[in-house]
């Protein structure tokens, strides 16, 4: 089954305290987005990779992804939108190879394990829609909007991550329907579910840290140093 990859990387570096887009920030000598792409090297039947970047930073991303020393199919760099959802939609429109499956993986998660990638892809091959997630470890409360909060049962809660993998036409349909219905969500699994298709959750293995703040960057450096010392 052929697969294409969309990497939303059009977010700003504001919460990281960076002037540059987050995905271009240096993580131990390598731009975050380049580390993220490297995790997909050797994924079987990966035909192409679309990296969705801020409109004003196309040239910078071109430089950051020059001369890749690994294979992730044909790489296209396209401009994103104001929201993650718009960026993924623009990425979908740039996919040229009509793959069977599409994988969406945030540039901000460069530490994803190869095992998690393989597991989510394998699940989506069978069910058509799967995403990575982790069990909630903190107690969680819901904001009721009137100054009160309410405890939720964390044993029933998942923290949803990427990679998220879907049948290509299913994700296309979900995005077009969401746009027509003005439905917005922070991830693609929500759109697919809204379009009427269930999404399977696959528990992540290893750290699938999302780099958001400066302390995440520091933690990512420690985790990279640890994994390199084990090689
Ligand atoms: O902001 P957050 O970390 O939740 O974004 C998740 C991913 O979506 C990041 O990799 C970010 O670059 C991307 N994004 C995007 N377009 C936007 C906002 C975020 O591609 N407008």
Atom of ligand 1 nearest to the CA of 9: 12
Q: For 161-183, what is each residue's pLDDT tens digit?
A: 999 999 999 999 999 999 999 99
Q: Specify if 61 maps to a domain.
A: yes
Distance of CA 13 to the CA centre of its chain: 16
Which pLDDT band, with edges at 50, 70 and 90, does 17 fall under? Answer: confident
Give the total number of structural domains in the chain. 1
Q: For 195-213, what is each residue's pLDDT tens digit?
A: 999 999 999 999 999 999 9
- pTM of model > 0.85: yes
Q: Specify if 13 maps to a domain.
A: yes
Q: Specify if 20 maps to a domain.
A: yes
Which pLDDT band, with edges at 50, 70 and 90, does 150 fall under? Answer: very high
CATH number assigned to the domain comprising residue 80: 3.90.550.10
Pocket test for ligand 1, best of 5, 11, 161 (most atoms within 8 A of CB): 11
Q: Specify if 46 maps to a domain.
A: yes
Which pLDDT band, with edges at 50, 70 and 90, does 25 fall under? Answer: very high
Q: Specify if 82 maps to a domain.
A: yes
Ligand 1 centroid, distance to 85 Cα (angstroms): 9
Q: Specify if 124 maps to a domain.
A: no
- Ligand 1: residues with CB < 6 A are 8-11, 22-23, 52, 80-84, 87, 106-108, 212
The whole-angstrom separation of Cα 34 and Cα 24 is 8
Domain of residue 176 covers 3-118+169-197+206-229
On the question of pLDDT at 231 being above 80, the answer is no
Alpha helices in 140-183 (DSSP H): 168-181
pLDDT of residue 77: 98
- Atom 1 of ligand 1: nearest residue by CA position: 11
The whole-angstrom separation of Cα 85 and Cα 184 is 7
Q: Specify if 53 maps to a domain.
A: yes
Q: Specify if 9 maps to a domain.
A: yes
In degrees and rounded to multiples of 5, residue 68 shows phi and psi of: -60, 135
In degrees and rounded to multiples of 5, residue 35 shows phi and psi of: -65, -40
Examine residue 48 and say whether the peptide bond preceding it is cis (omega within 30 degrees of 0): no
What average pLDDT does this structure show over 82-105?
A: 97
Atom of ligand 1 nearest to the CA of 210: 3
| Residues 6+ positions from 182 with CB-CB distance below 8 Å | none
């Amino acid at each position: 089954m052929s697969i294409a990859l969309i990497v939303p990387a059009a977010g700003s570096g504001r919460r990281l305290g960076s002037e540059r887009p987050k995905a271009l920030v240096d993580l131990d000598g390598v731009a975050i987005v380049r580390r993220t792409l490297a995790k997909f090297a050797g994924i079987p039947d990966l035909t192409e990779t679309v990296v969705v970047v801020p409109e004003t930073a196309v040239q910078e991303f071109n430089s950051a992804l020059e001369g890749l020393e690994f294979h992730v199919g044909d790489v296209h760099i396209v401009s994103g939108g104001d929201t993650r959802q718009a960026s993924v939609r623009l990425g979908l429109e740039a996919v040229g190879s009509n793959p069977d499956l599409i994988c969406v993986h945030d540039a901000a998660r460069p530490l994803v394990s190869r095992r998690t990638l393989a597991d989510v892809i394998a699940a989506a091959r069978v069910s058509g829609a799967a995403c990575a997630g982790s069990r909630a470890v903190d107690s969680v409360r819901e904001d009721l909007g009137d100054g009160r909060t309410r405890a939720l049962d964390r044993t029933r809660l998942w923290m949803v991550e990427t990679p998220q993998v879907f049948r290509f036409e299913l994700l296309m349909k979900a995005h077009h329907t969401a746009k027509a219905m003005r439905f917005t969500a922070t991830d693609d699994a929500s759109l697919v579910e809204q379009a009427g298709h269930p999404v399977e959750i696959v528990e992540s293995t290893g750290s699938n840290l999302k780099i958001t703040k400066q302390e995440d960057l520091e933690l990512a450096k420690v985790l990279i140093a640890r994994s390199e010392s084990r090689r």
